[in-house]
Chain A
Amino acid sequence: MRYLPLTADDRAEMLGVIGAPDIDALFADVPSAARLPGPVDLPRHAGELEVERELAGLAALNRAAGAGPFFCGAGAYRHHVPATVDHIIQRSEFLTSYTPYQPEIAQGTLQVLFEFQTQVAGLTGMDVANASMYDGSTACSEAVLMAKRVNRRGKAVLSGGLHPHYAATTQTIAHAEGMEIVRLPAAIDAEAAVIDAIDDQTACVVVQTPNVFGVVTDVTKIAEAAHARGALLIVVTTEAVSFGLLKSPGEMGADIAVAEGQSIGNALNYGGPYVGLFATREKLVRQMPGRLCGETVDADGQRGYVLTLSTREQHIRREKATSNICTNSGLCALAFTIHMTLLGGTGLQQLARINHARARELARAVAGAGLEVLTPRFFNEIAVRTKGPAAPLVERLAAQGILAGVPFSRLDPHAGLDDVLLLAATETTTSDDIAALAAALKAL
């Protein structure tokens, strides 16, 4: 076995040093009824070539997004990632290191996390960010729980524009913690409807911009309404590239900003791993979940970085921890930071403008094909009304080699929005792709 260095001679010699007659003696504590006499019923080991062949075979059964016109978004976006990013994240020192528990020999990871936190704070317009969460949806649910810790109230109001998977995840997690979740009915352009649902028991309202239908909303008024009743405003963003163009959550009065960071530095990966961004105001930092990296000095006075405020975390506070989370999404955060460093503020702004321009071209083309565009103000994603249910239409176009977006019914089958189709465009979308989609829609 190529991954196992010990030889039969090594094993015999080591058993001699241990003073054990055979390997079974080392498993003596396992009850005899539970000892398997031999390998379980699965294939035997295989060489690298055979394994690669099998996996390539499975991969070939999938239609890669880049294989043709592609318009899927709804929380995961196809962007171009510079080759440098993937090269650096595969360096042994980043790929094969653990959580930086020994800061003297983990300054590489720690400094990157500090840079990541600073970038996320800058993008979201907030004071501080943590070292990342599993993904945007879990960050969203953690934000709701944090709001409960901050103002000790038990209710959260979710807008009808919140990604249904985010809403379902938050419902599951917050319900387990005993919170009441009010989820407003799916609505294309109604983030402000949360205002009417705020009462004195409301810990937080959760709105999304751009929302799941692509609608961009200035949430300043929602922030004011929430704050007037002592509730926090949580702003969710699933397309991180939009931070390059749109007003930041911080600028609009958010208390907690969470986002899916996949768009920057990370591939689609069929849904994971991704990287959750989580940022808040300075005064709330001790209620923030997840890992935090902070600046300090070493014994010689040299600047360095450590994980800090870890008393909030499970390994110290145990049942009193702010969250049960143990890991962050380190390597995806690294990819995010490298890509963001290559872009810089000016590059991300440019990239965002390109995305927006591609979406405008898409919207014009789709409207030209006779479909109603439902999204009044959008960044790089639009909702359109299809003639008849969207799901079979998407299947038909897939058969023609066009991945024509996400039917809203896939995310929420009971919303009564079966004829709503979500279409995204990014810098990877060409005019030819858009023309092909428009032609296919027209031909239906």
Chain B
Amino acid sequence: MTMNTVGRPTRPEGAAAGAEGFQSLTGARGLVQDEPLIFELGGWTKTGVDLPDVTEDADDLAGLTRAGLELPGLSEPEAMRHFVRLSQKNHAIDLALYPLGSCTMKHNPRLNEKAARMAGFADLHPLQPVSTTQGALALMDRLAHWLKTLTGMPGVALSPKAGAHGELCGLLCIKAAHEAAGQGSRRTVLVPTSAHGTNPATAAFVGYTVTEIAQTADGRVDLADLEAKLGDHVAAIMVTNPNTCGLFERDIIDIAKLTHAAGAYFYCDGANFNAIVGRVRPGDLGVDAMHINLHKTFSTPHGGGGPGAGPVVLSAALAPFAPAPWVVSGEAGLALAEAAEGEAAQAFGRMCAFHGQMGMFVRAYAYMLSHGADGLRQVAEDAVLNANYIKARLGDVMTPAFPDGPCMHEALFDDRWLDGTGVTTLDIAKAMIDEGFHPMTMYFPLVVHGAMLIEPTETESKRELDRFCDALRALALAAKGNDDKDRFKNAPHLAPLRRLDETLAARKPKLAWRPETLAAE
């Protein structure tokens, strides 16, 4: 035989030393690179875009031009590396379960991305003649039809750009309706204590006074307290349903009746519509206005914090006050009512320039068509099933905040199970990072101590749910055990960075890179 002994060893050698305490010489962690800011990469005169020369100078703008513009540029390969390296420091729904309660982190189909990039949608100017945008207007019209049919509501305002913007739109419709009816003296909005912070913020923004409604021991609106606080000074109530505890408001129809009897409107925060889409129509519950986060229920990507889209469905009483623009049918096809006149004469105003988040409309509509009426119903069922499965699998090692009865699309735990362990909700969240999962929503809703709100969504397989539950069970047992709590107190150990000093960031805000930053260091 011929023997070639040249080459490398093909199994690991040396002692089985762990990575603990190991430091690379460069600050990199294998695939995770240490990446400076673009301002530190040296490209002050560089550009990664080849542009033609300009023969004409700007002599007509004498005295109006800037002297220089000190911003770095990178060549294309450098820029690609910079941003790809940064991307690898992010968790993502495409990587693993992302169970942020009330955020609905579900799979984002790439078909939707492809559709939104079709030239007929992406390369379309908002002020082209409507005769050249009939397909776009038809898509808006059909999206509106789906939203109205799914919610059982007769009107919809498409233009709000996010959930909170939709809330604002809904409350402005309510305000306009009251004013039109000579009821402008109604200045109070009732909001449950468990509400998302945007609700009171929006009400205050509109100039309303916020009064809190108490919550019952089983996590719902206290009907007696609501009744006591309703009156002819109340403009609206804002209730999230399913609520932020992940529970359906059993008395929702009575809540609506009491509200209407008092002459107020019922604003429903639709952040959690994913739990009931296709199974319950908010219009049947007596809702007057509800925003729909297209980035939640209808799966437009969250993009690291937006863009969102927050169309608002409206009852017949509120629909005439919806802001411009509206899609209307005219003699020559579809058109836009862009000013407060004609069909939109009672519109309360305008929420933004142009017509809303068209790119999100295309994605959401593609998602709706893909699922269909049957699939959307299945979405709600699987979302609720997955949350209840997590609640059942973790209920014996953690403490469900509301153990009796099913939850909807999210399972809420408090921190009683951590009593005496020295481990906090925050520690559990950070330890989950080391196990490869994004933490759940923590310390929200505020009404539950040390809250952990887990929303798996319908796009998780049973295998991924089991992997997640196994990991949390193991963490729960470790937290309750007698071992060193370093696993928790100093977590995360394996993330690109350890826990960050938020106090320092807030006391000495450094919000932009500056050349002197380098000089000082």
Asked if A36 meets B353 with Cβ closer than 8 Å, knowing A42-B149, A308-B505, the reply is no
Closest residue of chain B to A74 (Cβ to Cβ) is B127
Question: A138 to B306, Cβ gap below 8 A?
Answer: no
Question: B497 to A304, Cβ gap below 8 A?
Answer: yes
Contact bitstring B23-59, A, C-beta under 8 A = 1, else 0: 0000000000001011100011111110110111110
Residue A319, interface by CB 8 Å: yes
Question: A326 to B69, Cβ gap below 8 A?
Answer: no
Asked if A134 meets B165 with Cβ closer than 8 Å, knowing A18-B389, A343-B48, the reply is yes
A residues in contact with B48, CB < 8 Å: 82, 84, 341-344, 347
Question: B164 to A98, Cβ gap below 8 A?
Answer: no
Within the assembled complex, what's the spacing in Å between the Cα atoms of A285 and B66?
A: 25
Asked if A169 meets B352 with Cβ closer than 8 Å, knowing A6-B385, A111-B35, the reply is yes
Residue A324, interface by CB 8 Å: yes
Contact bitstring A3-44, B, C-beta under 8 A = 1, else 0: 111100011011101111001011111110111101111111
Within the assembled complex, what's the spacing in Å between the Cα atoms of A409 and B82?
A: 45
Question: A88 to B89, Cβ gap below 8 A?
Answer: no
Residue A287, interface by CB 8 Å: no
Minimum distance in angstroms from A367 CB to a CB of chain B: 14
Residue A230, interface by CB 8 Å: no
Within the assembled complex, what's the spacing in Å between the Cα atoms of A273 and B299?
A: 15
Question: A6 to B405, Cβ gap below 8 A?
Answer: no
Contact bitstring B132-149, A, C-beta under 8 A = 1, else 0: 111110110000001001
A-contacting 9-mer, from B12-20, B107-115, B225-233, B477-485: B107-115
Question: B388 to A18, Cβ gap below 8 A?
Answer: yes
Out of A82, A244, A302, A306, name the residue touching B76 (CB < 8 Å).
A82
B-contacting 9-mer, from A191-199, A288-296, A432-440: A288-296
Minimum distance in angstroms from B164 CB to a CB of chain A: 4
Contact bitstring A105-145, B, C-beta under 8 A = 1, else 0: 11111011011011101110101110110111110000000
A residues in contact with B458, CB < 8 Å: 4, 6
Asked if A63 meets B132 with Cβ closer than 8 Å, knowing A5-B462, A137-B353, the reply is yes
B-contacting 9-mer, from A153-161, A182-190, A221-229, A310-318: A310-318
For the complex, count residues of B whose C-beta is within 8 A of A: 203
Question: B511 to A294, Cβ gap below 8 A?
Answer: yes
Asked if A93 meets B87 with Cβ closer than 8 Å, knowing A105-B496, A356-B61, the reply is yes
Closest residue of chain A to B151 (Cβ to Cβ) is A40
Within the assembled complex, what's the spacing in Å between the Cα atoms of A138 and B354?
A: 11
Question: A351 to B71, Cβ gap below 8 A?
Answer: no
Mark out the residues of chain B between 174 and 220 whose CB falls within 8 Å of any chain A CB in the assembled complex: 175, 196-198, 200-207, 210
Minimum distance in angstroms from B114 CB to a CB of chain A: 7
Mark out the residues of chain B between 66 and 88 whose CB falls within 8 Å of any chain A CB in the assembled complex: 66, 68-74, 76, 79-80, 82-84, 86-88
Within the assembled complex, what's the spacing in Å between the Cα atoms of A217 and B338?
A: 29
Out of A74, A96, A109, name the residue touching B93 (CB < 8 Å).
A96
Closest residue of chain A to B458 (Cβ to Cβ) is A4
For the complex, count residues of A whose C-beta is within 8 A of B: 208
Question: A98 to B350, Cβ gap below 8 A?
Answer: no
Question: A331 to B76, Cβ gap below 8 A?
Answer: no
Question: B61 to A216, Cβ gap below 8 A?
Answer: yes
B residues in contact with A284, CB < 8 Å: none
User: Which of A58, A67, A109, A314 has the most C-beta atoms of chain B within 10 angstroms of its own C-beta?
Assistant: A58
Residue B124, interface by CB 8 Å: yes
Mark out the residues of chain B between 243 and 284 whose CB falls within 8 Å of any chain A CB in the assembled complex: 247-250, 252-253, 276, 278-281, 284
Residue B472, interface by CB 8 Å: no
B residues in contact with A171, CB < 8 Å: 349-350
A-contacting 9-mer, from B2-10, B368-376, B417-425: B368-376
Mark out the residues of chain A between 202 and 224 whose CB falls within 8 Å of any chain B CB in the assembled complex: 216, 218
Residue B318, interface by CB 8 Å: no
Question: A338 to B500, Cβ gap below 8 A?
Answer: no
Within the assembled complex, what's the spacing in Å between the Cα atoms of A272 and B310?
A: 13
User: Which of B118, B352, B369 has the most C-beta atoms of chain A within 10 angstroms of its own C-beta?
Assistant: B352
A residues in contact with B80, CB < 8 Å: 84, 87-88
Asked if A111 meets B56 with Cβ closer than 8 Å, knowing A308-B502, A350-B47, A398-B129, the reply is no
Residue B168, interface by CB 8 Å: yes
Closest residue of chain B to A334 (Cβ to Cβ) is B304
Closest residue of chain A to B430 (Cβ to Cβ) is A104
Question: B306 to A327, Cβ gap below 8 A?
Answer: yes
Contact bitstring A239-274, B, C-beta under 8 A = 1, else 0: 000011111100100000000100000011111110
Contact bitstring B289-329, A, C-beta under 8 A = 1, else 0: 00000000001011111111100000000000001100000
Residue B357, interface by CB 8 Å: yes
Question: A271 to B355, Cβ gap below 8 A?
Answer: yes
Question: A59 to B278, Cβ gap below 8 A?
Answer: no
Question: B306 to A346, Cβ gap below 8 A?
Answer: no
Residue B91, interface by CB 8 Å: yes
Out of A2, A58, A64, A245, name the residue touching B138 (CB < 8 Å).
A58
Mark out the residues of chain B between 349 and 398 whose CB falls within 8 Å of any chain A CB in the assembled complex: 349-360, 362, 365-366, 368-379, 381-382, 384-386, 388-389, 391-393
Contact bitstring A43-56, B, C-beta under 8 A = 1, else 0: 11110101110111
A residues in contact with B164, CB < 8 Å: 314, 324-327
Question: A94 to B339, Cβ gap below 8 A?
Answer: no
A residues in contact with B353, CB < 8 Å: 75, 135-137, 163, 165-166, 169, 260, 271
Out of A57, A243, A314, name the residue touching B197 (CB < 8 Å).
A314
Question: B461 to A20, Cβ gap below 8 A?
Answer: no
B residues in contact with A58, CB < 8 Å: 120-121, 135-136, 138-139
B residues in contact with A275, CB < 8 Å: 307
Asked if A75 meets B497 with Cβ closer than 8 Å, knowing A102-B438, A295-B505, the reply is no
10 closest Cβ pairs, A-B complex:
A344-B73, A59-B120, A271-B354, A331-B303, A61-B135, A172-B349, A271-B126, A347-B47, A273-B307, A45-B372
Q: List 19 A-B contacts (CB under 8 A).
A: A14-B462, A26-B388, A42-B372, A51-B370, A55-B365, A58-B121, A89-B303, A95-B92, A111-B35, A165-B354, A177-B205, A268-B122, A298-B498, A317-B201, A324-B205, A330-B305, A334-B303, A345-B73, A377-B60
